[in-house]
């Protein structure tokens, strides 16, 4: 008797498994790597990605991987690798994807030769352990002198910028990245470095503000009458709305006598004026709020020689609080002098076609702002990504306190060590570790190919002697 077929999975479910599926997954990853590996290094090419709406031009590995909209489930793991590298280190996103693809290619050869995936993984972990020990022996610590260590940090940032669009001014931006990171706290929270983008001008017009700068917020009548520069101002930070609002949506008032209407209007005006008086009595010269500051409050502050700005972005407000030492207030019933921030200079300046508010000479100075300039929006966006990579590299270098050689040198040395190590062991693992060593050579080989050279050429060949 024929048994009926049991259906355990949803219709259309793919149950492929075994060696053919492994090779299929590896091939999908290799196809992705082939698309991105030409962007590696200082001679790598930029990719233009058009998704039907926007056009992006970049050679940043994580950006390209995110924009590709990859659907293959195995190939998506490469996107996760690039994101993890971008979050943890900042730079090297293309390198890790290319290296992962080459390791998969070597694994494919081992699988076709009949080696079990478990053996390959065990050998890879053994090779990783040897490579990490070798890295610890090869790393060069930073000098203890502050000026010398700063120079090394600048060189690290220059290396990160060498393959970017702004490489012609890499020294200028590397110094900017180093100074920005060294102003932060010990936790080095990169959210405390604000990057603002203003179209127009040249790259050299970009500035690093030792403090906070943000774009002028939406303003009401009376704003132009306010003073735009204060020396040693007191800064009041609020999370309070300072404007009259129609309460028809929030409350209902029923009157028995029309004369009572005026008392309700007077009560609303009294509430807003009480808030404004408390702001003035606090002694603040600059009032910032996350919520709107209406035209009544703007004119009120202008008449009393106080600058105000409403609808300040949350990240800008947090950086102002950290830099000036102020505390954001959600009530004006008690505003002691301790909650007011301070700085040496507040002023509003013109930056390109925009107006920016600058807080400089802050007492804590644990935050910085970089204002990027450039001729086109695409250029500035790529400069932003490049500078973020440089900043992350400086942070990572400070944390580790040491560096290794670049340009494929460290990969070739690790490949040499692993080849020697593979000869000391027996069995199938020897072949896998030898493949791991070959995979490391992809970095210098791809750098040479992207530069237009033949990676198998020997540059040490002597030139023939001239004869007379």
**pLDDT tens by residue, 125-156:** 999 999 999 998 988 888 777 666 788 888 88
Helix (H, G, I), strand (E, B) or coil at 179: helix
**Are 228 and 276 spatial neighbours (Cβ–Cβ below 8 Å)?**
no
Report in angstroms the alpha-carbon separations of 77 from 38, 73, 415, 442, 468.
Answer: 20, 7, 25, 20, 62
Measured between alpha carbons, how far is 186 from 191 in angstroms, rounded to an integer? 13
Percent of the chain exceeding pLDDT 70 equals 92
**Are 299 and 265 spatial neighbours (Cβ–Cβ below 8 Å)?**
no
**pLDDT tens by residue, 252-273:** 777 777 777 777 777 778 888 8
Backbone angles phi, psi at 360, to 5 degrees: -120, 160
Q: Is the pLDDT of residue 459 over 70?
A: no
Measured between alpha carbons, how far is 210 from 351 in angstroms, rounded to an integer? 16
Q: Which of these CATH numbers, 1.10.560.10, 3.40.50.2300, 3.50.50.60, 3.40.50.720, describes 19-140+405-451?
A: 1.10.560.10
Most confident of 13-17, 181-185, 257-261, 325-329: 325-329
What's the confidence (pLDDT) of residue 222? 81
- Strand duo 307-309 + 286-289: pairing: parallel
pLDDT band of 462, cuts 50, 70, 90 = very low
Query: Of 15-19, 217-221, 237-241, where does mean pLDDT reach its minimum?
Result: 15-19
* Identical fold, 19-140+405-451 and 211-246+256-364: no
**pLDDT tens by residue, 55-70:** 888 888 888 888 888 8
**pLDDT tens by residue, 372-397:** 988 888 888 888 888 888 898 888 88
What's the confidence (pLDDT) of residue 11? 62
Helix (H, G, I), strand (E, B) or coil at 294: coil
Greater pLDDT, 15 or 132? 132
Q: Is the pLDDT of residue 360 over 60?
A: yes
What's the confidence (pLDDT) of residue 127? 93
What's the confidence (pLDDT) of residue 162? 83
The conformation of residue 101, written as its DSSP 8-state character, comes to H
> What's 228-283 look like in SS3?
CEEECCEEEEECCCECCCCCCCCCCCCCCCCCHHHHHHHHHHHHHHHHHHHHHHCC
pTM exceeding 0.75: yes
**pLDDT tens by residue, 87-103:** 888 888 888 999 999 99
- Residues pairing with 409 in the sheet: none
Backbone angles phi, psi at 236, to 5 degrees: -105, 125
Inter-axis angle of helices 428-440 and 117-138, to 10 degrees?
A: 50
Domain boundary assignment for the chain: 19-140+405-451, 211-246+256-364
Q: Is the pLDDT of residue 248 over 70?
A: no
Q: Is the pLDDT of residue 467 over 60?
A: no
What's the confidence (pLDDT) of residue 419? 92
**Token output for 66:** 């995110």
- Residues pairing with 198 in the sheet: 373
Residues in the chain, total? 468
- Give the closest residue to 265 by CA, choosing from 292, 242, 246: 246
How confident is the model over 363-378, as a mean pLDDT?
Answer: 83
**pLDDT tens by residue, 45-57:** 888 888 777 788 8
What's the confidence (pLDDT) of residue 6? 55
Measured between alpha carbons, how far is 352 from 354 in angstroms, rounded to an integer? 6
Q: Which residues are catalytic?
A: 60, 93-94, 389
DSSP string covering 9-53, please?
S-TT-----SHHHHHHHHHHHHHHHHHHGGG-STTPPPEEEE-SS
Helix (H, G, I), strand (E, B) or coil at 285: coil
Residues with Cβ < 8 Å from 311, sequence gap 6 or more?
Answer: 217, 218, 289, 290, 291, 292, 293
**Are 34 and 64 spatial neighbours (Cβ–Cβ below 8 Å)?**
no
Q: Which CATH architecture is the domain 211-246+256-364 placed in?
A: 3-Layer(bba) Sandwich (3.50)
**Are 211 and 360 spatial neighbours (Cβ–Cβ below 8 Å)?**
yes
Measured between alpha carbons, how far is 442 from 28 in angstroms, rounded to an integer? 18
Backbone angles phi, psi at 214, to 5 degrees: -145, 155
DSSP element (H, E) containing 286: strand 286-289
**pLDDT tens by residue, 305-315:** 999 998 999 98
């Amino acid at each position: 008797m024929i048994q009926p077929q049991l259906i355990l999975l949803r219709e259309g479910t793919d149950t492929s498994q075994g060696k053919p599926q492994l090779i299929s997954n590896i091939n999908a990853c290799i196809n992705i790597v082939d698309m991105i590996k030409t962007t590696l290094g200082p001679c790598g090419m930029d990719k233009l990605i058009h998704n039907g709406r926007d056009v992006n031009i970049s050679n940043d590995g994580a950006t390209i991987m995110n924009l590709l909209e990859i659907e293959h489930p195995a190939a998506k793991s490469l996107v996760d690798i690039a994101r993890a590298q971008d979050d943890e280190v900042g730079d090297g996103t293309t390198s890790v994807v290319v290296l992962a693809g080459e390791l998969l290619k070597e694994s494919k050869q081992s699988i076709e030769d009949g080696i079990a995936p478990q053996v390959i993984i065990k050998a890879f972990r053994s090779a990783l352990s040897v490579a990490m020990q070798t890295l610890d022996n090869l790393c060069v610590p930073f000098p203890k002198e502050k000026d010398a260590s700063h120079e090394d940090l600048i060189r690290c940032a220059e290396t990160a910028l060498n393959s970017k669009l702004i490489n012609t001014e890499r020294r200028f931006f590397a110094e900017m990245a180093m100074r920005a990171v060294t102003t932060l706290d010990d936790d080095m929270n990169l959210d405390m470095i604000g990057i603002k983008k203003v179209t127009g001008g040249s790259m050299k017009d970009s500035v690093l503000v030792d403090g906070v700068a943000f774009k002028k917020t939406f303003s009401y009548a009376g704003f132009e009458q306010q003073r735009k520069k204060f020396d040693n101002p007191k800064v009041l930070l609020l999370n309070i709305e300072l404007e009259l609002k129609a309460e028809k949506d929030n409350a209902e008032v029923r009157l028995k006598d029309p004369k009572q209407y005026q008392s309700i209007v007077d009560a609303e005006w009294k509430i807003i004026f009480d808030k404004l008086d408390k702001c003035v009595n606090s002694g603040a010269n600059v009032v910032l709020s996350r919520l709107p500051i209406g035209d009544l409050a703007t004119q009120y502050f202008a008449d009393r020689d106080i600058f105000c700005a409403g609808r300040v972005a949350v990240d800008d407000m947090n950086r102002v609080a950290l830099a000036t030492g102020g505390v954001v207030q959600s009530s004006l019933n008690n505003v002691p002098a301790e909650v007011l921030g301070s700085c040496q200079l507040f002023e509003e300046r013109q930056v390109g076609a925009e107006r920016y508010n600058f807080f400089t000479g802050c007492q804590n100075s644990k935050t910085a702002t970089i204002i990027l300039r450039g001729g086109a929006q695409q250029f500035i966006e790529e400069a932003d990504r490049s500078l973020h990579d440089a900043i992350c590299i400086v942070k990572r270098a400070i944390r580790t306190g040491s560096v290794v050689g670049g340009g494929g040198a460290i990969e070739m040395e690790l490949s040499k060590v692993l080849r020697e190590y593979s000869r000391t062991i027996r069995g199938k693992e020897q072949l896998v570790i030898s493949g791991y060593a070959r995979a490391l050579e992809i970095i210098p080989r791809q750098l040479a190919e992207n530069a237009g050279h033949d990676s198998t050429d020997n540059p040490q060949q002597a030139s023939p002697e001239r004869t007379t």
